Amino acid sequence: MFGFDDSLDLPVAEMAQRVRDKDNPLTASKLVETSLLRIETLDAAYGAFLRRTGDLAREQAAAVDAKAEAGEDPGPLAGVPLAVKDNLAVPGVPLTCGSKILGEYIPPTWATSVKRAVDAGACIVGKTNLDEFAMGSSTENSAFGPTRNPHGTAFVPGGSSGGSAAAVASGMAPLALGSDTGGSIRQPAALCGITGMKPTYGRVSRNGLVAFASSLDQVGPMARSCADARALLEAIEGVDPLDATTRGYDTAAQNGVDLGSLRIGRVTEFALDDVPGGEPAQAAVERVRSALFETGATDAELSLPLVQASIPVYYLVAPAEASSNLARYDGVRYGHRAEGGADLMDLYARTREEGFGEEVKRRILIGTFALSAGYADAYYKKAMATRAALRAQFDSAFAECDVIVSATTPTCAFKIGEKADDPLAMYLCDVLTVAANLAGLPAVSVPCGKTAEGLPLGIQVWGPPGRDGLVFDVAEQLEAMDGCGYEAPEVTS
């Protein structure tokens, strides 16, 4: 693929197995060098990476190869190159969150999810671009410039994990970690034609993830296939004493589902008939559902009226939490500090004005207003009550179906700059994803064909809390259907 050494294009399980096998010539060092060469050659066109970590990756690869040579097991991800969204901490590597306000801040400790991937044998080849503090749907809000879609560089890759999605789609790295607060893994996965999974809230530790909205954020895998994404999820999941919201779930016990026995939910409110440009996504959903029914699966028509309120609820809850979480960036303890200032409050104001981008400041203002005296009851508390009611509606829905299938995004990728001046249009890009975060559900997006213009479409599978394995099982079988699954973009070096 792409005219490079093709060892990096193997399924992750096969790649790691060859590295573990002393009699096989494939090494972690070779995989890392191939990945770094692809990044050096290709990334000028895409802007997926904010920082390459070649020295760190080579050091990690050498350790993996030494273990394999000694007959030790380096782990299920042995030697597999990994791209990491730049809101996850890696000690000794600057952490920016796509913002100027952190300056050259270097975290002293690991994000638990990243450390677990490294302990499983993965090698970190770089930190990827994102919308500033993960606030956006296009990766245009980064202080360091936009990322471009490998299927068409005039188009956005989605966001906020657009750098991770572009890195995987273009073949620069077989695996990436992203974070998903309202669709920030699944939406860019769909627009870039890869697989992206938002786990059940609490399945993966948020320790070391820079907080946007703590009750919504979740770290998850991005990969070319469900099998690869599942391998990464299994490496990073589990209880963490540093994150009190984490829980343990048994993924393996849920494997091997028979599609013919399933009840497939169709949510009336997810229909795209009246959405401009929504015809290709709706057609993809209908095609997949028809194929499911041919296996014997049954249709479950559902109505979840509060889904229609998910965007306004999300854009009250998430900014409210962000306004609290981002208050720590004050120019005093770390990061950027403005020059001058008449007093401490003036220093805070100058620092935040210089350091935060427009979208971050917009959401801080929305959240602060929603929490302010006299307005919290009218806005924030009502949003939280609606969120609880939405979760109850999903609980009732999953009593009538096993999984829900929908489009991931209402349209394919749009052109860079097309929605940059229209925040409401940008917010509506997440209309099919935010409800999973509000309800804490697992959901995965898999590629499902392309538009006539060659831009990818994604299909989303939702499941009940804790049933991440079931969601993957169904998604993996959708992925194998005609017209679905990863297709490499036409990349030239």
**Residue 252: pLDDT band with limits 50, 70, 90:** low
Q: Which of 160, 179, 205, 310 does the annotation list as catalytic?
A: 160
- Give CA–CA dist 437/443, Å, rounded: 9
160 is catalytic: yes
Kindly state whether residues 109 and 219 are assigned to the same domain.
yes
190: left (phi over 0), alpha (psi -120 to 50) or beta: alpha
Kindly state whether residues 291 and 434 are assigned to the same domain.
yes
**Residue 492: pLDDT band with limits 50, 70, 90:** very low
* Residue 329: C-alpha distances to residues 324, 334, 398, 410 (Å): 10, 8, 41, 35
Per-residue pLDDT at 254: 54
Q: Which residue, 402, 413, 394, is CA-closest to 458?
A: 413
**Residue 197: pLDDT band with limits 50, 70, 90:** very high
Q: Take residue 17 and report the two structure tokens written for it.
A: 């197995």
310 is catalytic: no
Q: Let me know how long the chain is.
A: 493
290 is catalytic: no
Kindly state whether residues 117 and 246 are assigned to the same domain.
yes
Kindly state whether residues 394 and 245 are assigned to the same domain.
no
Kindly state whether residues 46 and 114 are assigned to the same domain.
yes
pLDDT higher for 317 or 252? Answer: 317
Give the neighbor-by-neighbor strand order of the sheet with 49-52.
49-52, 123-128, 81-85, 175-179, 219-223, 195-198, 443-450, 456-462, 403-407, 263-267, 298-302
260 pLDDT more than 80: yes
Kindly state whether residues 271 and 227 are assigned to the same domain.
no
For residues 69, 72, 77 and 83, what is the CA-based torsion angle, rounded to 10 degrees? Answer: -60
**Residue 124: pLDDT band with limits 50, 70, 90:** very high
| Whole-prediction pTM | 0.96
- Examine residue 403 and state whether it is found in any structural domain, yes or no: yes
Kindly state whether residues 202 and 262 are assigned to the same domain.
no
Domain final residue pick, 217, 234, 253:
253
Q: Which of 30, 67, 85, 419 does the annotation list as catalytic?
A: 85
Average of per-residue pLDDT across 285-306: 94
Per-residue pLDDT at 432: 98
Per-residue pLDDT at 112: 98
Q: Which residue, 91, 19, 105, 12, is CA-closest to 53?
A: 91
Q: What is the pLDDT of residues 14-47, one digit of tens each?
A: 999 999 998 878 999 999 999 999 999 999 999 9
Q: Which strand (E) or helix (H) includes residue 52?
A: strand 49-52
206: left (phi over 0), alpha (psi -120 to 50) or beta: alpha
* Domain housing 280: 258-311+380-472
Average of per-residue pLDDT across 131-154: 98
Average of per-residue pLDDT across 232-254: 86
493 pLDDT more than 50: no
- Examine residue 485 and state whether it is found in any structural domain, yes or no: no
Domain final residue pick, 232, 253, 274:
253
- Give CA–CA dist 386/374, Å, rounded: 19
**Residue 1: pLDDT band with limits 50, 70, 90:** low
Domain count within the chain: 2
- Give CA–CA dist 203/251, Å, rounded: 10
Kindly state whether residues 286 and 245 are assigned to the same domain.
no
Kindly state whether residues 215 and 298 are assigned to the same domain.
no
Kindly state whether residues 287 and 436 are assigned to the same domain.
yes
Domain of residue 184, CATH code: 3.90.1300.10
- Examine residue 330 and state whether it is found in any structural domain, yes or no: no
- Examine residue 356 and state whether it is found in any structural domain, yes or no: no
- Examine residue 49 and state whether it is found in any structural domain, yes or no: yes
Kindly state whether residues 238 and 300 are assigned to the same domain.
no
**Residue 444: pLDDT band with limits 50, 70, 90:** very high
Strand locations in 224-282 (E): 263-267
Kindly state whether residues 268 and 147 are assigned to the same domain.
no
- Give CA–CA dist 15/135, Å, rounded: 34
